[in-house]
Structure 1
Amino acid sequence: MSEKTSRISGFHTWSVEDRIARVADFAGLGEGERTQLAAPSNIGAELGDHMIENFITTIAIPVGVATNLKVDGRDVLVPMATEESSVVAAVGNSARQCYESGGFTTSMSGTEMIAQIQLLDVPDPHRARLVILERQAEIAEICNACDPVLVRLGGGFRGLEVRLVDTPTGTMVVTHIIVDTRDAMGANAVNTMAERLAPDIARWTGGTTLLRILSNLADRRVVRARATWTAEAIGGEKVRDAMVAAYQFADNDPYRAATHNKGIMNGISAVVLATGNDTRAVEAGAHAYAARTGRYRSLTTWEVTAEGHLAGAIELPLAVGLVGGAVKIHPTARALLAILKPGSAEELARVIASVGLAQNFGAMKALATDGIQKGHMSLHAHNIAFAAGAVGEEVGEVARRIIAAKAINEEAAGRALADLRGQ
């Protein structure tokens, strides 16, 4: 048998079946593993092969529906794609506790994206900055000509910024073109405009353009959501004050803030993924925004109202779309969007921000009262029971036993399952 090698010429041109066979041979996979890789999913192999390179299979992520959400007066059911226990339940429970006090109220700064054009080797950067700004009308024409459909839909070029960025190798001149991308996330549109504009900027200034790419710090696409939970609904003033103290900890300590914001993104990324949007772009923008003051802080704020209730708010950039990319071609994403029925990309972003705030409320309340493990591990115990081989009604019973024994691990689940079957 020849030596195994990952150097496979033309792998992308092979059929999906041949790719699976080659990978299985390389890795020494058994028949069960080969069958699993070839198993059908809710997208066909042809679409999967179209979406990414060297496609061999799909990996299913469970999709649940968060209930009880009222956003700007509209009741919504929100699809969430996540593998983590308790995320969907936390959002629904949190939304239920503020439903009677009006649910979530949102606003958004707009649907504008930024593309950056990096200019190097400029002997007079201050003059170059002014030269570029003087060409704004011409730049608008160049950018809008790249996407006339976007312009017809009410989007297109909106403004220009030119920044001088000092680096160890000299001053860079960085041009920001600001584009309203409407119901698209907009990466392809703004990147195309930046590519088209770069040679002109180089010619006007005598410099050398290098990077031409959007920024995922979409701070012109900031969405805000707020809600109020009555002290009575959340368990009294002691719980309220503990939650405010938990927020203060996160806002003043980056070690806590990282986990605090990760919990927020548990909810946000689950909706972003379910709707076929770019989770990595949203996460990058959110974490960069959390550090905009020079230190990493909470994406949410929590305070006590004059009436003694708990008020929470979230503010972060959310670049999501309803057209283009996987949103347009993934049939499950389209079906899940049909459940949510957002009238625009802005409305989708408002719902997603509300989910993030609800998720943060649920996590902080759990931490400030029973601890995060009680609810999370209760759900996790069912996963452990399933992994140990429990089926049907056995899953719930094995989970109950290992929770009672405070031994939520696969070894304990195996013993509990053996005892159960021995009975």
Structure 2
Amino acid sequence: MNKELNTTPAASHIVMPKLPIKGFSKLSKLEKIDFLVENYFSNTETARVMLKKFWHSDENIQKTIDEFSENTLTNFILPLGVVPNVMINGNLYCVPMVIEESSVVAASAKAANFWLTRGGFKAEIIGMKKVGQVHFIWNGETGKLQDLFLSKKAELLESVAAITANMEKRGGGILDLRLVDRTKDEPGYYQLLGEFDTRDAMGANFINSILETLGHKWKEMVMNAESFSDAEKELQVIMAILSNYTPECRVRASVECRVQDLEEAGLGMSASEFAAKFTRAVRISRIDVTRATTHNKGIFNGIDAVVLATGNDFRAVEACGHAYAARDGQYRGLSEASVADGIFKFSLEIPLAIGSVGGLTSLHPMAKLSLDMLGRPGASELMQIVATIGLAQNFGAVRSLVTSGIQKGHMKMHLMNILNHLEANSAEVERAKVHFENEVISFKSVREYIASLRNYV
């Protein structure tokens, strides 16, 4: 650990540039680094070394990574771990996860092992439909616009035939196109609402290209409508864009077993008491928004990690998931649990618009490796894997909460982070692990214990 580098110096130590820089994006990577270290870092040489230290040794790989984003300087490293023994629909997976919190991977792995001997996870696709909208303003009689749309719908769809041809060959394409009247919410506001099947691709570029073409064509049709007055021929396209809210692109993951089969060494209570506490904890997440937020964050701990590992967009997945959690007007926990007739059931139903081809899934070398590890799944299979890990992580978290408490396991995992921060050597690490097996772990207590070892030596 380099003690000289301080990436968050006190404000008084920051040397701010005298003038804003123009044309920064046109500078080479080395020129960008030169500008930044001279103007934004207190220790210029250490910053320069650290920014270059994490470049990939393979120039071709580094070039690929640089081109993923804009104004790239270096690589930000996150660990890629795995959860073995994930049984889904009778198939065994080793699932990659990219996340910096070790307790998430550990909890998911523990849950996977727990359910491995209890029938494994079940998963099913509920739908694969994605949507996008052309938002526009038009002032006139709604019935006239509706009549024009119905008469021109086939022509509208034909206008994007060249874009949809390859997707249609794979069994996807445009499923439907509708005119939506939103004038009660905003004067003159309408939408062209498209529904799409993008097969194994996430499909953002495909959908957006179609929508933009439809927007231009629809405006042209309105302008040329013979039955419209000059005023009615005025149409303003506000925007054409896919929606990340995809409630009909949804997957369900679940587990179930007899209540008595929940019995496990170290549970600290009977299986029936555990089942009762567990199901009540999940119900609370569906009642109380304060708990629901943290409950769902735990689900996304698992989901995001697999989404990242496979080169998908975790921001889109999270935005959709949280919107879906509030679909009835109150934000609720996404999972459900019940006990009936002696059977414990736990499930998660969630929208997941992800892909296994295209974008970073085909470009990022580690995303490709992750998908290889999973057996090159199609989008529907990947959705099932991702949802299952979300459920596994949720089971592990809620299990800890209603038994030993979340901090016992979490802080054991956090112990290594503290020891690394204190630059503990291997002997100190091993002794600290033993010492804190049954002790409260905090930064202060670990620091004092390491200091005592060093003073003793």
Change (3 A) 1:133 1:301: farther
Which residue identity is paired with 2:29? Answer: V
Deviates more, 1:13-22 or 1:133-142: 133-142
- Are residues 1:22 and 2:56 paired? no
TM-score, structure 1 normalization: 0.93
1:41-73 superposed Cα distances (whole Å, 9 cap, x missing partner): 558431232111100111111111012211111
The aligned residue for residue 65 of structure 1 is 82
- Are residues 1:412 and 2:426 paired? no
Deviates more, 1:72-81 or 1:233-242: 233-242
Which residue identity is paired with 1:312? Answer: F
Deviates more, 1:219-228 or 1:32-41: 32-41
The aligned residue for residue 162 of structure 2 is 145
SS in 1 for 2:94: strand
The aligned residue for residue 33 of structure 1 is 47
Q: How far off is 1:299 after superposition?
A: 1.1
Which residue identity is paired with 1:389? Answer: E
2:97–2:308: 8 Å Cα contact kept in structure 1?
Answer: yes
The aligned residue for residue 304 of structure 1 is 339
Which residue identity is paired with 2:238? Answer: L
2:402 paired residue among 368, 373, 380: 368
Change (3 A) 1:356 1:315: same
Give the number of equivalent residue pairs. 420
Change (3 A) 1:373 1:125: farther
Q: How far off is 1:265 after superposition?
A: 0.4
The aligned residue for residue 313 of structure 1 is 347
- Are residues 1:211 and 2:239 paired? yes
- Are residues 1:280 and 2:297 paired? no
The aligned runs of 1:207-246 (5 Å cut-off) are 207-235=235-263, 236-246=271-281
Change (3 A) 1:142 1:105: farther
Which residue identity is paired with 2:275? Answer: R
Deviates more, 1:343-352 or 1:13-22: 13-22
- Are residues 1:248 and 2:293 paired? no
The aligned residue for residue 358 of structure 2 is 324
Q: Distance in 2 between matches of 1:204 and 1:52?
A: 38
Which residue identity is paired with 1:20? Answer: I
Deviates more, 1:126-135 or 1:15-24: 126-135
Change (3 A) 1:175 1:4: same
Q: How far off is 1:134 after superposition?
A: 4.4
SS in 2 for 1:277: coil
Deviates more, 1:364-373 or 1:24-33: 24-33
Q: Distance in 2 between matches of 1:128 and 1:158?
A: 22
2:245–2:323: 8 Å Cα contact kept in structure 1?
Answer: yes
Q: Distance in 1 between matches of 2:209 and 2:53?
A: 38
The aligned residue for residue 354 of structure 1 is 388
Deviates more, 1:386-395 or 1:177-186: 386-395
Change (3 A) 1:417 1:3: closer
1:125–1:172: 8 Å Cα contact kept in structure 2?
Answer: no
The aligned residue for residue 337 of structure 1 is 371
- Are residues 1:259 and 2:294 paired? yes
Change (3 A) 1:37 1:399: farther
- Are residues 1:12 and 2:40 paired? no
Q: Distance in 1 between matches of 2:333 and 2:354?
A: 21
Q: Distance in 2 between matches of 1:134 and 1:352?
A: 43
1:164 paired residue among 153, 164, 181: 181
Q: Distance in 2 between matches of 1:175 and 1:167?
A: 16
Which residue identity is paired with 1:140? Answer: L
Give the number of the structure whose alpha-carbon radius of gyration is greater: 2
The aligned runs of 1:80-159 (5 Å cut-off) are 80-159=97-176
Q: Percent identical across equivalent pairs? A: 34
Deviates more, 1:365-374 or 1:196-205: 196-205
SS in 2 for 1:170: coil
The aligned residue for residue 230 of structure 2 is none
Q: Distance in 2 between matches of 1:6 and 1:407?
A: 47
Q: Distance in 1 between matches of 2:147 and 2:318?
A: 34
Query: Post-superposition, which runs of at least 4 consecutive aligned residues in structure 1 deviate over 6 A?
Result: none
5+ residue gaps, structure 2: 1-14, 223-232, 264-270
1:144–1:151: 8 Å Cα contact kept in structure 2?
Answer: no
Q: Distance in 2 between matches of 1:3 and 1:240?
A: 58
Q: How far off is 1:169 after superposition?
A: 4.0
1:18-42 superposed Cα distances (whole Å, 9 cap, x missing partner): 2122111112243333222112455
1:260-287 superposed Cα distances (whole Å, 9 cap, x missing partner): 1110000000000000100101001111
SS in 1 for 2:67: helix
Deviates more, 1:146-155 or 1:310-319: 146-155
Change (3 A) 1:34 1:231: farther
